[in-house]
Structure 1
Amino acid sequence: MSGVVVTGGASGIGLASAKALIADGRAVSLFDLSPSVVAVAELLGAHGVVVDVSDTDSMATAVEQAAAAMDGIDGLVHAAGRVLPEPVGMFTIESWDAVVDVNLRAQALLSQLLLPHFEKALAAGAAPAIVGISSIEGLVGNPFIPAYCASKAGLLGLTRSMAGQLGPLGIRVNAVCPGFIDTPMLADALAVPEVKSAFVSAAPLGRLGQPEEIGAAVAFLMSPKASFITGTQIVV
């Protein structure tokens, strides 16, 4: 079996997803902007690449490196993400693009780069799959982070579109919509007691989610157990 590319793999949901996939016996290549990804990957017995997923040329090189390291690629988990608290009236073109490029554009372009590798995997009898990390904010919205909400809602549209196109080939495409999860991305917000309390109060279970709980959902959707699930999302 060839391997899975996991973006944002150095920490948070990406790292938790990678660990869950490795526990399922999958080879994994971690993509991350942080130089720490190489050491993190080494600890997991995985492959790691320092790459900016908003840089198309760098991603193309990273994909080829990952394919060589794992003897092929048959999966993608796009967990790299960015959020900026800039409501309408405050954001700039540059800051809007910075969020959308990482959260949405990167999955589309990376999927395109990976398609030839998926086709090779299909010819070898594999069942390629893609899971994008969307967000509860892509479903309900948040007045303070419009670029983030738009990008995560857009990722759900991309999921349905790609599932329709790639399904006849045997490639599944799904998304996971995390709620409020205790990750580095939320660290600044969680450092404010009132904000943390609001997040906890909004959760039906009365607590924050853990990255491992998202990783479990990702691993399920990437596995044969989800072989007839495509074009949809799981809210966790």
Structure 2
Amino acid sequence: MSALEMSPTTGVVVTGGGSGIGRACARALAEVGRPVSLWDLNGEGAAEAAASIAADCGVIAHSLGLDVTDGAAVADAVAAAREALGGIGGLVHAAGIVTAMDIDHLTEEIWDSVLKVNLRAEVFVAKALLGDLRSHEGSAIVGIGSIMSVVGNPLIPSYTASKHGVVGVTKSLANHLGPDGIRVNAVCPGYIDTPMTALMMDDPPSKAVCVEKAPLRRVGTPEDIAKAVRFLMSDEAGFVTGTTLIVDGGVTSHD
């Protein structure tokens, strides 16, 4: 039995679990025996993903359709997930949105909506889960950042700010929750082929630019990110907290 298979078996909440990176993270965790609760604004997508994961992996895969920025909905979702999974020892915050709008055109509404989903929700979902996380040994939180956590993009200031914020929140929560045995880390993907990036990935010249920027000469898959998340959620990363793992094929390794 591998070390990953010997990792905690408590349930994990995965926000944005209905598609893309979130869905891949839920599956990767289920593959090593962890029950998962997939939360997504698209409830049908979350339900379909959960059914597929349960059938393939033989673990409990629960799903809920909800807005992770709605505090009352999150409180209800925590209770439902706890009952379904029998205990919650992990959170992966993969829910995210992006709106391309530079500062000349940026509105307060766009700024607030992006920050609420990408950053604020991680903090308050984690807060809602603290009682559960503190009651289970080996609990961990992983936030999904971006290469925009470490560089800037002039077209997406709101997204860039939110993802820089994920790194700051990771360090803050790691310091606060470390004495409770709760580890907090972030994974920062590069160019990944997901529904969020479909417009870019479906355009051959745009995709070629992404490939050219990566020394590994390919774009990433959701599974590339999910494997990194699974490691950080496992006992193999038992002495890793407050860190940011960039998974970008080397994009940020050069100018």
Would you say same fold, with TM above 0.5? yes
Aligned partner of 1:6 in structure 2 is 14
CA distance in 2 between partners of 1:50 and 1:83 (Å): 20
Q: Quote the offset at 1:39 in angstroms.
A: 2.2
Q: Which amino acid aligns with 2:52?
A: L
* Distance across 2 between alignment mates of 1:186 and 1:139: 19
CA distance in 2, matches of 1:120, 1:57: 22
Q: Which runs of 5 or more residues in structure 1 are unaligned?
A: none
Pair 1:160 & 2:171 matched: yes
1:40 matches 2:40: no
1:69 lines up with 2:78 in the alignment = no
Quote the Cα distance in structure 1 between the aligned partners of 2:39 and 2:160.
23
Instruction: Report if the CA contact (8 A) 2:134-2:182 is conserved.
Output: no
Q: What number of residue pairs does the alignment pair up?
A: 232
Match of residue 178, structure 1, among 183, 189, 193: 189
Residue 194 of structure 1 and its aligned partner are, at CA, apart by 2.6
1:52 aligned counterpart, secondary structure? coil
Aligned partner of 1:7: which letter?
Answer: T
CA distance in 2, matches of 1:203, 1:55: 37
| TM-score, with length taken from structure 1 | 0.96
Which position in structure 2 is the counterpart of 1:99?
114
Q: Structure 2: any 5+ residue segments left out of the alignment? A: 1-8, 55-60, 248-255
Q: What's the C-alpha RMSD, in Å, of the aligned pairs? A: 0.9
- Pairs within 5 Å for 1:54-203: 54-121=69-136, 126-203=137-214
- Cα separation, 1, equivalents of 2:48 and 2:220: 26
% identity of equivalent residues: 51
Aligned partner of 1:235: which letter? I
Offset, 1:9: 0.5
1:230 corresponds, among 236, 241, 250, to 241
